[in-house]
Structure 1
Amino acid sequence: MTTYSVDEFLSRTKQQITSTDSFALQSERILEVNLDGEIWSKMGSMISYQGTIRFERERILEHGLGRAFKKSFTSEGQELMKATGNGRLFLADQGKRITILELGNQQITVNGNDLLAFEPTVEWDIEMMRKMAGLMSGGLFNVTLNGRGKVAITTYFEPLTLEVTPDQPVHTDPTATVAWSGDLKPEFHTDISYRTFLGKGSGESIQMKFTGSGFVIVQPGFEVE
């Protein structure tokens, strides 16, 4: 056990001077948002703020009737929070590691549980994965993001990015799958056998298969269904 004096502790844990970028990392697990306007974030992710910031729950028709229907169709739709004002906003999600991505007019699809925040310039929509209905309780909904702007995603520990090529598909466990590039469309496979019921069987019975050209981001921890 390490013991610090008060001054040593303050020195080691005090707020760092970061850049003026809209999104920056105070640490691997804390996102700092230099807010001047508004951003969208995962409900319940605010841990602190400085300045004048107002928080609003996403209204039912905030993003159109189509998305409202998708969210009401199942409880899996991720609820969002809008932060408006000026100041520094600090976000986190259960101590998960945070990665900031600049989309640059590219498209990615992110597991709803792993989406922490995104700038208002980013276009997004909820993707319903109907083939998963009845197979597992989670993972039915993902969020597709595209356009320009920053997106913050979270992972349990360090993420791993796997390249998908036409001659080298990638198979993943749905609960370990964080995100994938926009050109990929996963297929779902089941392998119900005697072996499925041995051990934990977290990903043996249901797998995601990615074919084509692109990338898949996975994490070494698992989302709890």
Structure 2
Amino acid sequence: MRSELFAQEHLEVEGTGQFVRQSSKMMKVELSQGSVVALAGSMVAYQGDVHFEHQGAGGIAKFVKQRLTGEGLPLMRISGTGEIFFANRAADVHVIQLEGESLSINGANILAYEDTLSSDIQMMRGAGMMSGGMFNTTLSGSGQVAILTDGPPLVLDAGEAPTFVDPDAAVCWSAGLHVQLKTAIGMKALLGRTSGEEVQLGFVGQGFVVVQPSENMRFGGQDSGRQVDNQTRSGGGFNLGDLIR
């Protein structure tokens, strides 16, 4: 059998790490021990003896944070031995190796991460209650995390100058950055004569900010954002199973 489908560019990519990008849109996890946490429904294929389980919030404190902030997404824990392939709505996949650092990331942009990383939902420093409370997921420790961007990303050095980003375009940033909410809502907003750019996230300090060329990903666009929200709420509000890790 012959076809351009069997060209080298379409074959499985071997690698030395646990997270191996297969293409700009897909990632493979080599699993031999431990487990990984991934976005529920993001598995597209696997080989071997692999087990999928619902990932609970990890206790009542995290459960309450997820419900109050809306930052939590349905996750699954994967264990066993084999290779698992992940993708979501053909979004671009990027792998970040954390070496004792902390990364603040929009939960909607998380594809998977190693269970060696600790996760928490935290209020953005400086954005605070003035904005009604803006929250992000913080991953800390040593391990790999795969993130999604809606198109090729841009990495900005926040140390060069104060950096301002549309909240829906911000993907992740160094957790040590000071974050502030910049608003310019006045009489023009009341008259309907705004530019549509009245709210931005400002970043100050030493670190980086990753921006995607889209303002719609909450998650993968407005429609899928509603689907994820419906998944989170399915079963009607309080779910005792969410308290169990």
Cα distance in 1 for residues equivalent to 2:14 and 2:87: 17
Deviations 1:89-141 (A, max 9, x none): 01112111111111011111010111111101111111235537559xxxx43
1:26 to 22, 26, 30: 22
Conservation of the 8 A alpha-carbon contact between 2:96 and 2:145: yes
Match of 1:95 among 90, 96, 100: 90
Aligned-pair CA distance for 1:12: 5.7
Q: How far apart are the structure 2 equivalents of 1:174 and 1:83?
A: 31
User: Which of 31, 46, 60 is equivalent to 2:43?
Assistant: 46
Question: Is 1:173 matched with 2:166?
Answer: yes
Gaps of at least 5 residues in structure 2 are 223-245
| Structure 1 vs Structure 2 CA RMSD | 2.4
Matched position secondary structure for 2:7 = helix
- CA separation of 1:13 and 1:131: change in aligned 2, threshold 3 A: same
Q: Quote the Cα distance in structure 2 between the aligned partners of 1:55 and 1:155.
A: 25
CA distance in 2, matches of 1:71, 1:142: 10
Contact kept, 8 Å, 1:77 with 1:141, in 2: the verdict is no
2:144 matched residue in structure 1? 150
Instruction: Select 1:217's aligned residue among 210, 222, 232.
Output: 210
- SS state of the match for residue 61, structure 2? helix
Structure 2 match to 1:11: 7
- Contact between 2:25 and 2:92, CA under 8 Å: does it hold in 1? yes
Q: Secondary structure at the residue paired with 1:157?
A: coil
Task: Report which of the two has the higher share of helix.
Answer: 2
CA 220–199 in structure 1, closer or farther in 2 if over 3 Å, else same: farther
Structure 1 spans left out of the alignment, 5+ residues: none
1:34 corresponds to which letter in structure 2? E
Question: How far apart, CA to CA, are the structure 2 residues paired with 1:102 and 1:220?
Answer: 23
Task: Work out the number of aligned pairs and report it.
Answer: 212
How many percent identity over aligned positions?
35
Q: What is the letter of the counterpart of residue 162 of structure 2?
A: P
